[in-house]
Amino acid sequence: MKKPIIIDCDPGLDDAIAIFMIINNSKFDIRAVTPVAGNQTVDKTSRNALNLIDFAGADVPVAIGAAKPLFKKLVTAEHVHGKTGLGDISLPGSHKEFSELNAFEMIHQEAEKFERNLEIVALGPLTNIAVTLLKYPDIKEKIKRITLMGGSCGCGNDTPAAEFNIYADSDAAKIVFDSGIPITMVGLDVTHKALVYEEEINEISAYKNKISEVAAKILTNSLKFCRKHGFDGSVMHDPLAMACVIDETVISTESLRVDIETKGILTNGKTVADVFRVTGKKANADVGIDINREKFIKILKKAMMNYDI
């Protein structure tokens, strides 16, 4: 049976590659894409999602989600993802319509339909999932796993203590982490090791299909940005989370208690992982600790190679 999954995201440049990685994967039944405000405003991330899916030749409903975090003011990452949210990538505008359902109704409907089998991969702030859990608390029992890109056991990237996706809506993250739903946390501890090197970007570019060309362009631009920040390769946060959904052995994980700080002056949005196990609290997340980078690259390349459009 194909695995039912919802892609909750905020495309977003690295989201775009992540979507390309799975949207035509025959092992998955992609029930919906639910965009949220994050890297850009929700009107832009939704439009980008629709265009990306159409561009990849897929037919998946796009159910628009939250326009802003639960309580905090919206902060976007325009400095990374540009005015449109997709940097200088311009895609043909899709003529398809958005789903009549919003993200919350969509997530609820699918969770009910695939009782205990639905997975969610979350690539942006966790607002959509949190709102759904607030409105339909019963679905906690019905979601198989949330694999999310977010957080860090070490320091952050948006603030010294917090990673962007969690910081952007720390209250939503708290609701999700406290929900009891099995969580795989793909945070900076592993995504900073998910580097795509220049020669690998060139290989992807050489596949000469229109998806690999867009992906290569995104990777090349990201490489320039990442080099300025001291990385040797292009750091692929969201694609790593997606690779973990496709093959969970891409990362090694440790089961840890993770609490989300929402009150700190300096630490709001920190994923406080009990790495030395001092609380005695039950673990609530499988936290990515290390990565098999070669395997990640293999999955990424394979997905890009498979397009013949």
Partner 1 sequence: MQDRRPIIMDCDPGHDDAIALLMAFACDCLDIRLVTTVGGNQTPDKTINNALKVLSYAGVGVEVAAGASQPLMRDLITAPEVHGESGLEGPVLPPATLKKSERNAITAMANVISKSEKKVTIISTGPLTNTATLLLSHPEAADKIERISLMGGSCIGGNWTPAAEFNILVDPEAAGIVFNSGIPITMCGLDVTHKAQIYKNEIEIIRNIDNKVAKMVAELLDYFELFHKKFGFEGSPMHDPCAVAYIINPNLFITKAYHVDIETQGEFTTGATVADMRYASNKEKNVDVALDIDREAFIQLLIECMTYYS
CB of 177 to partner 1, least distance (A): 11
237 is catalytic: yes
CA dist 72 and 263 (Å) reads 12
Rounded least distance, CB 156 to partner 1, Å: 6
User: Least distance from C-beta 189 to partner 1, angstroms?
Assistant: 11
Question: Least distance from C-beta 211 to partner 1, angstroms?
Answer: 31
- Minimum Å gap between C-beta 7 and partner 1 is 28
Query: 116-155 mask for partner 1 (x: CB under 8 A)?
Result: -------------------------------------xxx
The single residue listed with the structure tokens 């702030």 is 125
Closest to partner 1 by CB, 44 vs 257, is: 257
Among the listed residues 161, 194, 242, 297, the single contact to partner 1 using CB under 8 A:
161
Taking the complex as a whole, the smallest distance from the CB of residue 162 to partner 1 amounts, in Å, to: 9
Task: Give the helix ranges, DSSP H, for 67-197.
Answer: 78-81, 103-113, 127-135, 164-168, 170-177, 188-191
Annotated catalytic residue: which of 81, 108, 192, 237?
A: 237
d(CA 273, CA 18): 26
Which of 159, 205, 220, 221 touches partner 1 (CB under 8 A)? Answer: 159
Phi, psi of 110 (to 5 degrees): -75, -35
Among positions 12, 85, 87, 156, the unique one binding partner 1 when judged by CB under 8 A? 156
Task: Yes or no: say if 214 and 21 are a contact pair by the CB < 8 Å rule.
Answer: no
Judged by CB, which is closer to partner 1: 48, or 152?
152
Helix (H), strand (E) at residue 46: helix 42-55
Instruction: Provide the 10 A C-beta neighbour count for residue 28.
Output: 18
Token representation of residue 191: 């995504």
Residues binding partner 1: number (CB under 8 A) = 29
Stretch that binds partner 1, among 17-25, 193-201, 205-213, 276-284 (CB under 8 A): 276-284
DSSP readout, 211-226? HHHHHHHHHHHHHHHH
Site string for partner 1, 233-272 (x = CB under 8 A): ------------------------x-xxxxxxxxx--x-x
| Contact code string over 200-239 relative to partner 1, x by CB under 8 A | -----------------------------x----------
Site for partner 1 in 42-71 (CB under 8 A): none
Which stretch in 60-68, 158-166, 196-204, 283-291 sits in contact with partner 1 by CB under 8 A? 158-166
Q: In what order do the strands lie in the sheet with 143-149?
A: 28-35, 3-9, 118-122, 143-149, 183-186, 285-291, 251-256
SS3 (DSSP) at 185: strand
Q: Please check whether residue 92 is in contact with residue 50, taking contact to mean a CB–CB distance below 8 angstroms.
A: no
Distance between CA atoms of residues 261 and 225, nearest Å: 29
Residue closer to partner 1 (CB basis): 156 or 239: 156
Separation between Cα atoms, residue 32 and residue 118, nearest integer Å? 11
Chain positions contacting partner 1, by CB under 8 A: 153-161, 229, 257, 259-267, 270, 272-279
Q: Which residue numbers are catalytic? A: 237
